[in-house]
Chain A
Amino acid sequence: MRIGLVASLAWQDYRNDAWLSACSVLALVAVIAPLLVLFGLKFGLVSSLTERLETDPATREIIPLGGGRFNAAFIEQLAQRGDVAFAVPRTRQIAATAQVGTLTLEMLPTAAGDPLLVGLPMPRGLDQIVLSHTAAEKLAARPGDWLETSFARQVAGRVEAQRTRLQVLAVLPLEAFARDGVFADLRLLEAAEDYRDGRAVPALSWDGDAVGATEQRVYPAFRLYARHLADVERLRVFFAGQNLLVSTQANAIAQVQSLSRNLSIVFWIIAGLALAGAFAAILAGVLAAVARKRRELSVLRLLGFSTAGLLLFVVVQALYSAGFAAVLSAGLYGLAEAGLNKLFVQVPGEYASHLLAPHYGLALAAVLGVSAVAAACGGWRVARIQASEGIRDV
């Protein structure tokens, strides 16, 4: 049986019964459009929340609690893990400060790949820094400025200080870091720590005790960011296995994931019920159509249509309805999405309701699939249509 001919005949019959065809399309739209809106809301809300967490690196930060003793090799191993986006050693917090004028700044080590410094130039060597937004405001500093910075220490009850000039490469946005701080190469922090420990810093010509050649540096902490939100919990478990207490945003992430999971359950329950209803409606529609078109179908059988050909005729008509309904539903959803986003979204880039192209594709495939199966189930009656029924009274 020629599929093209069957599809063409089915289309001409479908068009001839335009009103009934429109009714079957609208019946499907009544199911599909609300489902799209529901899924759009679920996906839009959850993806906005997730994106908010994803775009804030602080959510993925894992902070070791208490004093630790980590060597550079261990932290380098952490940095090489697939679930770690960035890891760099930290020097002792008490030694990681710098004085600019009257302002004491927290010093943080940075390196290539630092999630807080995305898009900003990376400070290298001992004379470059990136300044936090609040610090830049208080110091009235701008990129390119040189800051006279001092590092003080107490040796045998005597206060000593050294000065160095640091160039501001960039200023961090406020949302990236809200405290007074500078981001600098680890070597600058190590220099400050060495100086405060009474050691000499030859690179900056600061006097002090000589550094032992074989002495291996021990770091009390590190800055570490998980690669993805889902990696945070995995890393927390890893560090717990190492008897290392860490602070994470795992709870906030779990809440969003739980919300996503629960909304998904609600959505799939509603979608399942709606699709079952749509299946029943299509099935009933096809049964009625087969009964209504019994004589036309029997004439087609008389002319040589096989049972498969007649079944295809019925299924193709259901697919026409499904296709039109999917397109119309997508259009209605588009309007609803625009309205919902206009009403409820305050932050640019976030969505109250949002669907991606694969979602539309999946919806189309689901509607076509359900329609085809329902029509095939309802169309089994065509097998019982005899050609002899068409011979008389048609």
Chain B
Amino acid sequence: MLNLSAVHKSRGVGSQRYSLVIPALALRAGEQLAIVGPSGCGKSTLLDLLALVLAPDQVGRFEFDQVDVGALWRADQQSTLAALRSTHLGYVLQTGGLLGFLDVRSNIALSRQLLGLKDDGSVARLAEQLEISDQLGKKPTALSVGQRQRVSCARALAHAPQLVLADEPTASLDPLNAERVMQALLAQAREHRAACVIATHDEPLARASGLQVRRISCRRDTDGGVTATLGEAC
């Protein structure tokens, strides 16, 4: 479903250079993966690449749902990339990323509406499974951080995407809430057979949640720049 090899992304030059190298990354449907590493190592850059919002500099292979993403970036096919994003991707942002002008129900339903899908009850079902049914009529500002994260999970899953990306979904939560949100997200992803990539600095939680863990390691190069490399599963 997702297949990358020899994908490079660099920012800055000289001692300010930062490069991310993905030697190989393959994900099958339903597979769940945690990307761990210290702050600034490139977890978010990796997610941006997978979310099709950041263009890679070099691509050996970058296929998503049998579509050559590298070719789409080279041809600057932004609308096709946007269509791929809305159809096949769900994204859980660090602090929710909810739209403040919509209530919870509309936030969750938005990913379906963008695809022209009618509400088949999945909004209410997801809300129930994520224990936010009684929050559907509220605006995001009226929710706690943990509730917002669960709404974000629901929005990411509502249109049944093939790949769910989550960027530090539990970073702002206390340990109890962090575990609850992580479990809720993974359980829903499993139920929908969506592959899942979660960037987190909480490696113990990732391991406790049964995720395959891959670490990004950094090294300083002779020019003073930093190269981060996605390692194998550990």
Contacts and interface: CB of A to CB of B under 8 A. Distances in A.
A296 B100 contact: yes
Residue in B95, B101, B111, B116 with the greatest tally of chain A CB atoms within 10 Å = B101
B51 A302 contact: yes
Given A9-B99, A304-B83, A392-B94, 5 more contacts: A296-B101, A302-B85, A305-B114, A387-B85, A391-B167
A386 B53 contact: yes
Given A303-B85, A306-B78, A394 B95 contact: yes
Interface string A30-68: 000000000000000000000000000000000000000
Nearest to A1: B114
A12 B100 CA distance: 10
B86 A392 contact: no
Contacts of A302: 51, 53, 85, 91, 97
B93 A17 contact: no
Contact of A304 (B86, B96, B97, B100): B86
A303 B82 CA distance: 8
Contacts of A307: 78
Interface of A: 2, 5, 9, 12-13, 15-17, 296, 299-307, 386-388, 390-394
A387 B51 contact: yes
A144 B17 CA distance: 110
Nearest to B48: A388
Contacts, number: 83
A314 to B, nearest CB: 14
Nearest to A13: B101
Contacts of B116: 2
A153 to B, nearest CB: 96
A300 B85 contact: no
Contacts of A392: 44, 93-94, 167
B114 A391 contact: no
27 contacts: A2-B113, A5-B113, A12-B101, A13-B101, A296-B100, A299-B93, A300-B99, A302-B53, A302-B91, A303-B86, A303-B91, A304-B86, A304-B87, A306-B79, A387-B53, A387-B85, A391-B47, A392-B44, A392-B93, A392-B94, A392-B167, A393-B95, A394-B94, A394-B95, A394-B96, A394-B97, A394-B98
Contact of B44 (A300, A305, A390, A391): A391
Given A387-B51, A388-B48, A299 B85 contact: no
- Interface SS majority for chain B: mixed
Nearest to A300: B99
Interface string B44-88: 100110010110000000000000000000000011001101110
B110 interface: yes
Contacts of A300: 99
A216 B116 CA distance: 87
Interface in B78-136: 78-79, 82-83, 85-87, 91, 93-102, 106, 110-111, 113-114, 116
A304 B85 contact: yes
Residue in A15, A305, A387 with the greatest tally of chain B CB atoms within 10 Å = A387
B172 to A, nearest CB: 11
A228 to B, nearest CB: 56
B97 A390 contact: yes
Contacts of B95: 393-394
A393 B93 CA distance: 8
Contacts of B99: 9, 13, 296, 299-300
A165 to B, nearest CB: 89
Contacts of B54: 388
B63 to A, nearest CB: 20
A5 B115 CA distance: 10
A306 B82 contact: yes
A303 B114 contact: yes
A16 B106 CA distance: 14
Contacts of B91: 302-303, 391
B89 to A, nearest CB: 8
For the complex of A and B, 6 pairs with smallest distance between CB atoms: A304-B86, A16-B101, A387-B53, A13-B101, A394-B97, A388-B53
A303 B101 contact: no
Interface string B175-212: 00000000000000000000000000000000000000
Contacts of A15: 101
Given A16-B101, A390-B93, A305 B82 contact: yes
A17 B100 CA distance: 10
B149 to A, nearest CB: 12
A353 to B, nearest CB: 40
Contact of A391 (B48, B78, B79, B102): B48
Residue in A5, A12, A304, A390 with the greatest tally of chain B CB atoms within 10 Å = A304
Contacts of B82: 301, 304-306
A13 B87 CA distance: 24
Residue in A13, A17, A299, A305 with the greatest tally of chain B CB atoms within 10 Å = A299
B51 A391 contact: yes
A311 B36 CA distance: 37
B10 to A, nearest CB: 15
A391 B97 contact: yes
